[in-house]
């Protein structure tokens, strides 16, 4: 069954086990407009990109940066809304829009930083169009990531969706399914572990890399950056878009130095937004 966001149980587990911090502790209102900028992120690639900025670029650009890493997609937004973070980096705009709608938060995008392309992975086939009739494909169970997964499969002609299915497509929007595929909806973090049990799984980039998969080398189908609405973005609570610290980080995230870092480190597994 589809779920609007990752369940509270996963969020609680992340709070207890998966939340780590780099740097000093902060108060309930983050670092303050003239102090440390506290940014929440998932470990890969957001945490790595921010760590590069913190180590090599922040000080000489007058930015004091603290990174807090999360293992799920819910807590970074909850913490940002409540004020224990000043910004976060890990999500795309369709996910942010859905989160605001479902949770009543007031979070806004600042700048798109990079695209972690979603991919289809399989231990059974090397070509997604060669999936056998009637097999099961695992997809994320949150609204925007499931829609993204189905759109990726549709881009290769594996299925056909309604013309107006958009970013929130669900299996109910499939109008042609020539291979009679069955879809298993799982929490995104569980998808890599499902590969032994399903014919293929559509996996978010960070969870694929966390599981030791290389999107550029191991995916049998991978998103392109061209005209892609799913680039990860720097987000803040509404009203903080003009915070000078946020503006400095936004500029660094789109700098030539960070573009080169992404290209060199990820070798196509994460794409700068300027890539086609």
Q: Where are the alpha helices (DSSP H) in the chain?
A: 8-13, 48-56, 75-82, 93-103, 143-155, 205-210, 215-218, 244-253, 256-266
Instruction: Give the CB-side neighbour count of residue 124, counting CA atoms within 13 A.
Output: 18
The predicted pLDDT at position 224 comes to: 86
Instruction: In whole angstroms, give the CA distance from residue 91 to residue 81.
Output: 15
For 117-135, what is the mean pLDDT? 98
Q: Which of 134-138, 159-163, 167-171, 258-262 bottoms out in mean pLDDT, i.e. has the lowest? A: 167-171
Burial class of residue 119 (count of CB atoms within 10 Å of its CB; 0-12, 13-18, 19+): buried
Mean pLDDT, residues 22-38 taken together: 57
* Contact residues for 30 (Cβ-Cβ < 8 A; gap 6+): 37, 38, 83, 84, 85, 86
Residue 33 pLDDT class (50, 70, 90 cuts) = low
Choose the weakest-confidence range: 78-82, 140-144, 224-228: 224-228
Question: If pLDDT is split at 50, 70 and 90, which confidence band does 34 have?
Answer: low
Q: Which domains does the chain have, with CATH numbers?
A: 8-117+228-272 (3.40.190.10), 119-222 (3.40.190.10)
Q: From 195, 188, 274, 257, select the one nearest 5 (Cα to Cα).
A: 188
Encode pLDDT of 254-272 as tens digits: 999 999 999 999 999 999 9
CA 9 from chain center: how many Å?
Answer: 20
- Peptide bond preceding 45 in cis form (omega within 30 of 0): yes
- In angstroms, the CA 91 to CA 118 distance is 12
- Which tokens sit at 170? 């669900």
Tokens coding 139: 């997809």
* Average pLDDT value for the chain: 89
């Amino acid at each position: 069954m589809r779920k609007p966001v990752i369940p509270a149980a996963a969020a609680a587990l992340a709070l207890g086990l998966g939340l780590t911090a780099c740097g000093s502790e902060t108060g309930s209102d983050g670092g303050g407009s003239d102090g440390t900028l506290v940014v929440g992120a998932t470990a890969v690639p957001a945490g790595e990109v921010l760590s590069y900025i913190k180590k090599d670029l922040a000080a000489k650009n007058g930015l004091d940066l603290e990174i807090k890493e999360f293992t799920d997609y819910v807590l970074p937004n909850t913490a940002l809304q409540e004020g224990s973070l000043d910004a976060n980096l890990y999500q795309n705009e369709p996910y942010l829009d859905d989160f605001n709608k479902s949770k009543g938060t007031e979070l806004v995008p600042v700048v798109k930083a990079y695209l972690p392309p979603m991919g289809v992975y399989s231990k059974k086939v090397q070509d997604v169009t060669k999936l056998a009739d009637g097999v099961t494909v695992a997809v994320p169970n949150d609204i925007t990531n499931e829609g993204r997964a189905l759109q990726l499969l549709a881009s290769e002609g594996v299925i056909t969706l309604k013309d107006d299915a958009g970013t929130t497509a669900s299996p109910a929007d499939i109008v042609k399914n020539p291979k009679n595929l069955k879809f298993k909806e799982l929490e995104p973090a569980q998808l890599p572990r499902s590969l032994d049990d399903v014919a293929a799984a559509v996996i978010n980039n960070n969870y694929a890399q966390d599981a030791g998969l290389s999107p550029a080398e191991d995916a049998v189908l991978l998103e392109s950056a061209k005209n892609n609405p799913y680039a990860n973005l720097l987000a803040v609570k509404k009203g903080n878009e003009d915070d000078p610290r946020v503006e400095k980080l936004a500029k660094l995230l789109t700098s030539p130095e960070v573009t080169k870092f992404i290209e060199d480190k990820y070798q196509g597994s994460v794409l700068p937004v300027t890539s086609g």
